[in-house]
Amino acid sequence: MPKSLRSPRHQRFLAQLISLRKAKGLTQEQVAEKLGRPQSFVAKYEGGERRLDVIEFLEITAALDTDPCEVLSRLRL
């Protein structure tokens, strides 16, 4: 099994977060501002350079005004 950072499922997860951000009309900088983080934080998780922990994921979905359960339900096998 491939490491989760490079797995197809993880790539779908990242694509969802990117798509949600863009659908909300937000830039990486704007999301980072909502999170109180540097823009590089958003760039690194969107680019697959770093993993998100559960709390970070919840903070990001809140910043995107999205239900985290909906995001996760789309990742089922």
Q: Are 60 and 35 in contact (CB under 8 A)?
A: yes
Domain total of the chain: 1
Q: Domain span at residue 60?
A: 16-72
Residue 35 corresponds to which tokens in the numbers above?
């999170």
CATH at residue 50:
1.10.260.40
Residue 37 domain-assigned? yes
Q: Give residue 54's pLDDT.
A: 97
Residue 52 domain-assigned? yes
Residue 6 domain-assigned? no
Residue 5 domain-assigned? no
Residue 11 domain-assigned? no
pTM for this entry: 0.89
Q: Are 68 and 57 in contact (CB under 8 A)?
A: yes
pLDDT (tens, 9 = 90+) of the chain, 77 residues, equals 556 667 898 999 999 999 999 999 999 999 999 999 999 999 999 999 999 999 999 999 999 999 999 999 998 86
Residue 67 domain-assigned? yes
What is the Cβ-side half-sphere exposure of residue 57, based on CA atoms within 13 angstroms? Answer: 15
